[in-house]
Amino acid sequence: MCNKNEHEHHEHHETHEHHEHHEHDGCCCGCGHEHEEDDNYIRKGLFRIVFGLLLLGLAIFTKGYISIVLYIASYIVFGYDVVLRAVKNILNGHLFDENFLMSLATVCALGIGEFTEAVAVMLFYQIGEFLQDTVVNRSRRSIKDLMELNIDDVNILKDGKIATVEAEDVEIGDIVVIRPGEKIPVDGIIVRGETTLDMRSLTGESVPVEKSQGDNVISGSLNNSSLIYVKAEKKYADSTVAGILEMVEHASSSKSQTESFISRFAAIYTPIVVFGAAAVVIIPALMGLNFKTWLYRALIFLVASCPCALVVSIPLTFFAGIGTLSRKGVLVKGSNFMELMSRTDTFVMDKTGTITKGEFEVTKVTGEETLGYAASLERFSTHPMGNAVVKKYRGRYSEAENVTEISGFGISGVINGKNILVGSKKLMDREGIECEQGYNIYVAVDGKYIGAIAVEDTIKEDSKTAVSDLYSLGIKNIAMVTGDKKEIAENVALEAGIKNVYSELLPGDKVKTLENLYNTGSRVIAAIGDGINDAPVLARADVGIAMGGIGSDAAIEAADVVIMEDSLAKVPVAVRLSEATMKICRENVIFVLAVKIIVLVLALAGKSNMWMAVFADVGTALLAVLNSVRITKK
C-alpha cells in the first residue's frame, strides 16, 4: 500500500487517463476500451494474490529446502515489483522511499529465517493494492461516465441533404439532425421537433427532460424519443461538453493542503525511520547486547513505521470523493476545493438564475380585459416581461394597428378603434392616468386605467430547502448579492430564507461586498452565480461555484466547482460530501499514527513481533482504504 516513489502506483491510472483525454482517433473516448483494461488489471491482481497464497500454503505445510523454496517463490510473486522499484529508485538516486523500507525489512527477515512474516508483509501489501485499485476504478468510472459524452460524427442538414461531418467541423448556424439514441453534439436551440432528453450524465438526474421547438439544449444530452433539428449556437470546442471534458481531465491536478502535507511528511519521515532503525541495531551492538535480537526489533521498527497507509489513503479518499460528486452532477476542479468547501462559513449567492429561475412569470392580474389587451400588443415586443404576458395569455389575440414601442415606458396601439397603452407606472404618470401601486405592467384604454399585471422572477422550487440545508450544516452567513432593486431583492431573500441582502450592485460592487465580508470575520467564502457578471466574484472567492446548466462560459471558466443542473440543492450535497471526505481523512491519519506509535514503542521494549508490525503497516493501510470506500456510499 505504498506510494511507489511519490504516487508511482497511480501512474498506470493517470497516464492511462491522460491518454484517454487527448487521443481522439482510437477508441479511447466512449467505447468502453478503458473499462475493459481496468477490469483486466484488477483480474490480474486477484490472480496474483490467489497464486501467491497457494504457494504460501504449500510452504507452511512442507518442510526442509522445499518449504524454503516455496516461501521464496511466494515472496517473489507478492513482492517482485516492490523490490524492482526499490532497486530502480536507488540507481536513480532516490534511496529513501517506502519501497526501500519494505524491501530492506523483508529481505532481512528472510535472512534471519522469519519467512512467514516476510511473505506476509508483501501479501497484505498486494491485498491492499487490490482493494485500492478496486476503489480507484469505481471512482474513475464515475468520472469516465462524463468522458462518454464525447461525440465523433455529426449529421447536419446542408442544401436539403444530410451530410456527415466531424463534431469539430460544426459551425455556428448549422442545422444538426439528431436521431433518437444520439447525443447532442453542440449547444443550440431546437428549430424543429420535440423530444425528451436524458441528461443524467450531465446533471446526475435520471428523470428525462421534455424539450420542444424554441428550447435551448446543451451538448452531451441524449435524445430519447424523436427526431429533432438543432441550430448550433456554439462550436464544439466552446460547447458545454468540451468544457466538461477539460474539467474532468484536470479534476485531480490540484492537491489539497492535507495531501500536500502528507507528501512532505513522507519525504522527511522516511529517512528518519531508516536511520532510526539503524540506530536500534548499532547502539545495542556497541553496548554488547544480542545482535540478532536487536536486528529483529529494528526490522519490526522498519515495517511498522512505513507511511504507506497515509500516503495512499488520503489521495484515495479525495479521489473517491470527487468521483462520488461527479455521479451527482457536481464537478470539482481539484481536491483542494473539497477541503475548502468543508471549511466554508459564508456563502455569497447571485439572485437571478441562481436563487430564482431567471424567467419572468405572471403572478397576478387585475381587470377582466387587462391580460387580453396587454398580450395583443406585447406580442410585438421583445421585452422579457412582455414575453411572460404573451406566454400567460391563452385566448385569441385582437387585431392591433399603429403599434408603437415607447422606449423606456412601454407600448401603444389601436385595437377595435380604441387607443391602448401598455407599460410601466411611469407611462401612466406621463399620460396623467391614475393607477394603483405594486405592479409591473399597467393597461389603459382611451386614457382610462382598466387593470394591472404583476410579473416576477420566481424562486426555484428547491432554493428555500437548499438555504435551510446550508444553515443546518453550520454555515454562519448566507448573503444574496444582486443588481436588482432593493424591494425585489428583499422579497426574494425573504421567500428563500436568506438573512443578508445586498442589492442594486454592479459587478465591481459585488467584489467589494465580498471583500467586506472577509474584513468582518468570514474565514472561507464560497460564491455561487451563473452569469458573466458573476465571474469576478467567483474568481475572487475561496470557492467559486457556477450553475453550469444555463451558466455563462465566463462563470464556468472562473469557477472551481460546477453544478451541472440548475439546482441550488446540489450545493449542500457538495458541502456535506466534502465534510464527510475530510472527516474520513482525519480518521485515517489519527488511527494510522496511533497504531504505529503504539507498535514502535512496544518494539523498542521487546514486547511486539513482526505480525504486529505487519498490522501497523499494511493492516492499517487496508483499514484506511476500506474506511475511504465509505465516501462512495454517501
Cα(269)–Cα(277) distance, rounded to whole angstroms? Answer: 12
350 as an active site residue: the answer is: yes
CATH of residue 391's domain is 3.40.1110.10
Q: Is residue 265 part of a domain?
A: yes
Domain count, the chain: 4
Does 204 share its domain with 70?
no
pLDDT of residue 14: 36
Does 508 share its domain with 621?
no
Q: What is the amino acid identity at position 520?
A: T
Does 176 share its domain with 266?
no
Q: Which mean pLDDT values do the consecutive 10-residue runs of the chain (634 residues) have? A: 39 35 36 54 82 92 91 92 88 76 80 83 79 64 52 82 86 91 87 83 59 85 87 81 56 54 68 83 88 85 76 79 82 85 93 83 91 93 84 90 87 94 92 90 95 88 94 94 82 92 82 89 89 77 80 67 85 94 90 88 84 81 82 74
Does 26 share its domain with 110?
yes
Does 344 share its domain with 390?
no
Give the three cell numbers for residue 193: 421537433
Q: Is residue 164 part of a domain?
A: no
Contact 497, 568 (CB under 8 A): no
Q: Sort 175 into a burial class: Cβ within 10 Å, 0-12 / 13-18 / 19+.
A: middle
Does 487 share its domain with 348?
yes
pLDDT of residue 54: 94
pLDDT of residue 266: 64
Q: What is the amino acid identity at position 566?
A: D
Contacts of residue 168, defined as CB under 8 A and 6 or more positions apart, other chains included, come to 235, 236, 237
Contact 550, 353 (CB under 8 A): yes
Q: Is residue 581 part of a domain?
A: yes
Q: 234, 265, 282 — which closes off a domain?
A: 234
Contacts of residue 97, defined as CB under 8 A and 6 or more positions apart, other chains included, come to 2, 3, 4, 5, 6, 86, 89, 270
Rg of the chain on CA atoms, in Å:
32
Cα 2 from chain centre: 26
Q: Is residue 107 part of a domain?
A: yes
503 in helix, strand or coil? coil
pLDDT of residue 251: 44
SS3 content of the chain, % helix, strand, coil (to 5): 55, 20, 30
Cα(449)–Cα(458) distance, rounded to whole angstroms? Answer: 27
Q: Is residue 340 part of a domain?
A: yes
Does 433 share its domain with 471?
no
CATH of residue 471's domain is 3.40.50.1000
Q: What is the DSSP code string of 383-449?
A: -HHHHHHHHH--SPPPPEEEEEEETTTEEEEEETTEEEEEE-HHHHHHTT----SS-SEEEEETTEE
Q: 533, 559, 585 — which closes off a domain?
A: 559
Q: Is residue 102 part of a domain?
A: yes
Cα 198 from chain centre: 20
Contact 280, 297 (CB under 8 A): yes
Does 268 share its domain with 401?
no
pLDDT of residue 412: 94
Contact 223, 197 (CB under 8 A): yes
Q: Is residue 130 part of a domain?
A: yes
Q: Which domain holds residue 513?
A: 335-355+460-559
Contact 570, 329 (CB under 8 A): yes
CA-wise closest residue to 471 among 499, 502, 452, 491: 499
> Pairing between strand 216-217 and 188-192?
antiparallel
Q: Is residue 156 part of a domain?
A: no
Catalytic residue among 174, 350, 530, 560: 350
CA-wise closest residue to 493 among 349, 327, 308, 387: 349
First to last CA, the chain: 24
Does 340 share its domain with 191?
no
Does 426 share its domain with 507?
no
Give the three cell numbers for residue 395: 385566448
Does 444 share its domain with 513?
no
Give the three cell numbers for residue 244: 466538461
CATH of residue 221's domain is 2.70.150.10
Cβ-defined contacts of 389-395 (< 8 Å, 24+)? 389/362, 389/441, 389/453, 389/455, 391/362, 392/361, 392/362, 395/371
Does 180 share its domain with 263?
no
